[in-house]
Amino acid sequence: MTEPQAALPPDLEQALRALVRTALGADVCALEPLAGGLGLRRFVRLRTSGEPATLVARIEAPEDPARRPSGLPPEPALEPLRSFLADQGIPVPRSYGRDVARGIDLLEDAGPTPLRDAVATHPEERTSLYEEACDLVPRYQAARDPGGLASFRRRLDDAFFAYKADFFARWSLPLALGRAARPSEERAVKEAFAEIGDSLRAAPHRLAHRDLQSANLHVRAGAPRGARLIVIDVQGAFLAPPEYDLVCLLRDSYVELPDAELVHQIERIRPRLPDAPAADELARRFDRLTLTRKGKDHALFLYTAETRGDRSYLAFLPATARYLRAAAARVARDGPALARLAEIVAALPDSPCAR
């Protein structure tokens, strides 16, 4: 999706070699910088002289302040969340060592095949693979704070909704309007997102991955059904309504599922969620979370093209716009703020062109 990352600085390469030697008693035979995603972290596949033969080094990077809600702390470190999730039976990469000072984690190599690529290559496996993905959601939601884990102090709250609204107004509205947004139009988006936040405040809030979509689920070669997926990019976990991760999975910009398949997956998993929401309540919250989550994603694809020169994600604007228009049309009758948002979203074009 993106170009491979640039060659590693010599001091970072030296640190990776030293960490592998300390953690595994092995040498690094080859280093392969991996393609970057929408975040700024580096990932490097390391081929070693020992076992395991390959690892992935995850290297922290400074957060982009434009993408962090005002007043909220940065995402917590990968540990101890990774270990906690493993204890809950969630398939996350094994850890082989850490360099805390340099923000490096040596992790199990999840392999080269994200879910999005697997279902493109083997469409006959799509339904069963998505069933396995949806099965992870109740496992996340059943988890309880062991005491002091930062992820349980993070919550989809007013600050998050305000950030998503501001991001959408700043980056997506100009594409919808064909011009810079007026203050009244920006205000309409912010009022609608705030109303959505208000309407979700009373919902049960459970642990969510926060970005449980097909790029963050890898398919293990040769693994049996029911154990094919491994979850990456887990450090952003927070508390959110039960539908949040389902929106990420089933309204994924990278894999556009037919409506019948979405209904199948929701009807199958809804009774297994710890709160087992009623079908109409789940549908109501699902649409509202689609507007805020996919609104942010739509804006992020444009932001990435504009600020980083990476236009590859613009290919996913059409599917994202379709999700937004459909959800907005369904909630438009719920009040003037949402009706105004639906008018704005209806103008989003099926076009990958940025401003």
Task: At 126, list the tokens.
Answer: 């799509």
Average the pLDDT over 151-177 and give the result.
94
DSSP one-letter code for 69: -
Please compute the mean of the pLDDT values over residues 282-307 and round it to a whole number.
96
What's the pLDDT band for 67 if we cut at 50, 70, 90? Answer: low
pLDDT of 193 strictly over 90: yes
Q: Judging by DSSP bridges, how do beta strands 28-33 and 42-48 pair with one another?
A: antiparallel
Query: Mean per-residue pLDDT for 269-287?
Result: 98
Tell me the pLDDT of the chain averaged across its residues.
93
Distance CA 47, CA 33 (A): 11
For 17-53, the DSSP string reads HHHHHHHHS--EEEEEEPBP-SS--EEEEEEESSSSS
Question: What's the rounded Cα separation, in Å, for the pair 217 and 134?
Answer: 11
Picking from 300, 297, 312, the residue whose alpha carbon sits closest to that of residue 35 is 312
Q: Residue 287 is encoded by which pair of tokens?
A: 């649409």
Predicted pLDDT of residue 332: 97
At 218, phi and psi to the nearest 5? -105, 150
- DSSP label at residue 112: S
- 3-class DSSP string for 122-155: CHHHHHHHHHHHHHHHHHHHHCCCCCCCHHHHCE
User: Rounded to whole angstroms, how far apart are CA atoms 100 and 204?
Assistant: 35
Place of tokens 């007026």: 182
Q: What is the pLDDT of residue 38?
A: 78
pLDDT band at 68 (very low <50, low <70, confident <90, very high): low
Compute the residue count for the chain: 355
Q: How confident is the model at residue 353 (pLDDT cuts 50, 70, 90)?
A: low
User: Which residue, among 139, 155, 154, has the nearest Cα to 85 in the 3D structure?
Assistant: 139
Q: Exposed (0-12), middle (13-18) or buried (19+): which is 7, by Cβ within 10 Å? A: exposed
pLDDT the model gives residue 1: 43
Residue found by looking up tokens 């005002």 in the block = 70
pLDDT-derived band at 354 (thresholds 50, 70, 90) equals: very low
Mean pLDDT of 165-183: 93
Q: What is the pLDDT of residues 224-254, one digit of tens each?
A: 999 999 999 999 999 999 999 999 999 999 9
pLDDT band at 351; cut points 50, 70, 90: low
Bridge partners of 229?
219
d(CA 136, CA 149): 20
Average pLDDT over residues 63-83: 77
The SS3 of residue 93 is coil
For residue 72, what are the contacts with CB-CB under 8 A and spacing of at least 6? 154, 159, 160
- In the predicted model, what is the mean pLDDT of residues 174-185? 90
Q: Give 225-288 as a 3 state SS string.
A: CCCCEEECCCCCCEEECCCHHHHHHHCCCCCCCCHHHHHHHHHHHHHHCCCCCCHHHHHHHHHH
Confidence of residue 69 (pLDDT cuts 50, 70, 90): low
For the stretch 87-142, pLDDT in tens is: 999 999 999 999 999 999 999 999 999 999 999 999 999 999 999 999 999 999 99
pTM of the model: 0.93
Q: Please, what are the domains in the chain? A: 10-108 (3.30.200), 115-346 (3.90.1200.10)
User: Above 90 in pLDDT, residue 187?
Assistant: yes
Between 39 and 15, residue with greater pLDDT:
15
